Amino acid sequence: MSIPTCAVAIKLYDQNADAVVGATVTAQLDRYEIHDGFVVPQIVEAVTDQYGEATLNLWPNALGSQSSNYKIKVQPSDAKGYSTIAVVPDAPTANLSEIAQLPDLPGKTDFQDYLDQATSLATDLVDSANAAKVAAQAAQTGAETAEAAAAGSATDAAAQAAAALASSQSATTSANAADASRTNAATSEANAAASAAAASGSASAAAGSASSASGSAGTATTQATAAAGSAATATTQAGNASASAAAAAASAAAAAASAGSIAAPTVTKPGDADVTTGRAIDTTVIYAAPITAGRTVTLNITNPASGDRVHVTRTSAATGGDLVAVAALKYLNPGQWARATYDGSAWVLTAYGSL
């Protein structure tokens, strides 16, 4: 006599709805179990094939007395692994997607957790915008300080230019005095030598004053140029900081708008009618009444987002010889279900089965 098993089917797809090939799937019994004198194997392992499918032959926990379960670990070959818990029924076959016990987030729905994350991102962006605003104000203050310094430099330059002008005027006066001395020398031979010497000294002084005036004027021009450059640099920095603040504020507004546009999960029961889904992270359509003609679930094409899901269930109460079409992806009889996922460019069938 052998230990009975249930063939648990596994189908793995990535976020693009492509089959996950070569993933290792391990099932480990969480406690010691004995069935009719035989020790139940603790670990069973399988690897997904080219279609992302694998089968684990597991002992049904429903036959035990220890309230045991299996810890299912999935380890893709090129991505981070993840785990779940499953209780295997006393049946010939089962689907892991139907018996896995996914952990609940206490006090929050999946949508609320996603919304909290988006709100947190928007808050971070607002903080960044405020920081950029402070930087812009600091840059503006620096620009004003530089402008004041430039004004001071310009004032000093004007003063030095005035001093240069005064030196030039002094040189002119000295030159006039020298000319007068030469005139006096011509009228008085006795004083000619002395007047000539005085004229020569005055001319030398005039040349020195003119040279000093030229140097002062050059220094004033250099300082004025430097002051203008400082003011231009400060103005550029203030403009860059203001642009950064505006960009950060726009990003924060976009994040807040994105968070506000996400629609909550919805459930609809169309009865004996067709239905078109709207924008939502997760939409559930339940046919639970007899149908008199073929019915179609049209999937949202107005503004879907990558990762949106639509789950369509036709219960055994939805009798009738016609089919329920999930777009053109799957056709349901009574007691069947199917799931479609938007992959960023089109709706694809990602799961189906029987109730």
Which alpha helices (DSSP H) does the chain contain, by range?
A: 96-99, 110-187, 192-261
pLDDT of residue 248: 40
Provide the percentage of residues in the chain whose pLDDT is more than 70.
Answer: 55
pLDDT of residue 70 exceeding 80, the answer is yes
C-alpha dist (Å) from residue 340 to 99, 101, 238, 281, 305: 20, 21, 52, 12, 13
Q: What is the mean predicted confidence (pLDDT) over 175-187?
A: 49
C-alpha dist (Å) from residue 153 to 147, 161, 297: 10, 12, 78
pLDDT of residue 297 exceeding 50, the answer is yes
pTM of the entire predicted model: 0.32
The answer to whether 254 touches 113, Cβ cutoff 8 Å, is no
Token look-up 């909290």 returns 116
DSSP secondary-structure letter at 13?
A: B
The answer for residues whose C-beta is within 8 angstroms of residue 250's C-beta and 6 or more apart is none
Domain limits, the chain: 6-101, 113-261, 263-354
**Residue with the larger pLDDT of the pair 187 and 232:** 232
CA–CA dist 242, 137 (Å, integer): 8
- Burial category of 187 from C-beta neighbours within 10 Å (exposed 0-12, middle 13-18, buried 19 and up): exposed
Q: How confident is the model at residue 175 (pLDDT cuts 50, 70, 90)?
A: very low
CA–CA dist 354, 249 (Å, integer): 50
Q: Are strands 24-29 and 43-47 parallel, antiparallel or unpaired?
A: antiparallel
**Residue with the larger pLDDT of the pair 258 and 52:** 52
What CATH number has the domain spanning 6-101? 2.60.40.1120
The continuous run of DSSP H or E covering 32 comes out as none
| Sign of CA pseudo-dihedral 20, 21, 23, 26 | positive
- Residue 312: what are its φ and ψ, rounded to 5°? -115, 125
As given in the structure block, the two tokens for residue 180 are 């007068």
**Residue with the larger pLDDT of the pair 117 and 291:** 291
**Residue with the larger pLDDT of the pair 94 and 261:** 94
As given in the structure block, the two tokens for residue 165 are 């002008």
The pLDDT tens digits for 144-156 are 765 666 466 556 6
pLDDT of residue 37: 87
- Residue 130: what are its φ and ψ, rounded to 5°? -65, -40
Nearest by Cα to 312 from 301, 323, 297: 297
pLDDT of residue 177: 53
User: Where is mean pLDDT largest: 24-33, 161-170, 241-250?
Assistant: 24-33
pLDDT of residue 3: 93
The pLDDT tens digits for 92-140 are 999 999 999 865 544 444 444 544 554 455 456 446 556 656 655 765 7
pLDDT of residue 41 exceeding 70, the answer is yes
The answer for residues whose C-beta is within 8 angstroms of residue 301's C-beta and 6 or more apart is none
Q: Are strands 266-268 and 24-29 parallel, antiparallel or unpaired?
A: unpaired
